[in-house]
Structure 1
């Protein structure tokens, strides 16, 4: 017995709502999304400031952008987007924080963590993890934990810090900002799905 059409066409993530009538169009759409997403992450990385007395790691908008891209794109598109951002930046494109590039930077671990977080968040979102406030909170927590899991140890290695120093410099100062971003995402993502479903239902 064939599955209902609605079940077949139901979007897994927000990017799936963008129309693609053929396979070629879908590939072109996804290529544009990947390039645009990497550019958006690069642009958000320029919205940054550093307080040396608190941490050598800049306060940035990038983490929020990465998690939104992950949730909106799904694991494959998000993985390709962050892989492009990482590889191109390491190769010399000046779109890491404050125009930095290359791989000899103490915050490279966070950028690697962006890739892991985007894929994980995309996977969870594809399975409905961004449809309610509670699920979205969990999704964002997972993403942030992965960023720190890569970023803090690499920071400790790069700057020769012990575990306590690395946590104090590379995680603790950012938790309050993470909480604000988490609340914003918990409202934005389920709210967008609510609007999408309301629009789709009004067309039926």
Structure 2
């Protein structure tokens, strides 16, 4: 596995690659990515001990498929729309949304989304998304980057004497393992389809 940043990401393998047409393609991808993030945040798959949402899966796969710059633009676009008060986050509601919601218990995880998308994009540029094993490792790294600021913010917000890990980490681990496995299968499969289309 080559670890230098010399690989294309999936978003660069189709459509125009230069000029205004490329900018239009990127704008469309950002819009589609924001829509995917908003939908994924609201999807709840029944699971024990808590329902599994697909938000982190969408963040990490968009980061890997788009690369660091376009992935970051997409995540920031999602955050801006959420900050304006649109109900696009996993737990937001008519009673609590926008900046009020973002500064609550979810705030640290949203920061983690930004960092994780950047890192997944950088790892994809090194070809990690073309191998199931390396993509699984990348997803693991991405999840850690989401949970560290998420749990840290919960601790600062509510106090470290509270069961922070029970609130913000352990109930979600089983779902994250399943999402990790899904991404580890999906991205390399898409690369195989790209290779077959070009052959």
Fold similarity call, TM over 0.5: yes
Matching residue of 1:7:
none
Which runs of structure 2 are paired with 1:159-178 in the superposition (5 Å)? 159-162=158-161, 165-178=163-176
| Structure 1 residue 18: Cα displacement | 2.2
Matching residue of 1:36:
32
Output the CA distance in 2 between the equivalents of 1:179 and 1:50: 15
- Greater Rg over alpha carbons, structure: 1
- SS of equivalent to 1:81: helix
Q: Which runs of 4+ in 1 moved over 4 A?
A: none
Q: Which has the higher contact order (CA 8 A, sep 6+)?
A: 2
Output the CA distance in 2 between the equivalents of 1:66 and 1:142: 13
- SS of equivalent to 1:12: coil
| Structure 1 residue 199: Cα displacement | 1.9
Of residues 76, 95, 98, the one that matches 1:101 is: 98
Output the CA distance in 2 between the equivalents of 1:137 and 1:171: 19
Does the 8 Å contact 1:42/1:96 carry over to 2? yes
Matching residue of 2:134:
135
How many residues of Structure 1 are paired with residues of Structure 2 in the alignment? 187
TM-score w.r.t. length of structure 1: 0.83
Change (3 A) 1:178 1:96: same
TM-score w.r.t. length of structure 2: 0.85
| Structure 1 residue 78: Cα displacement | 0.5
Structure 2 residue ranges without an equivalent (≥5):
1-5
| Structure 1 residue 93: Cα displacement | 2.0
Does the 8 Å contact 2:123/2:129 carry over to 1? yes
| Structure 1 residue 189: Cα displacement | 0.8
| Structure 1 residue 11: Cα displacement | 6.2
Instruction: Identify the range of structure 1 (140-149 vs 95-104) with the bigger mean alpha-carbon deviation.
Output: 95-104
Matching residue of 2:190:
192
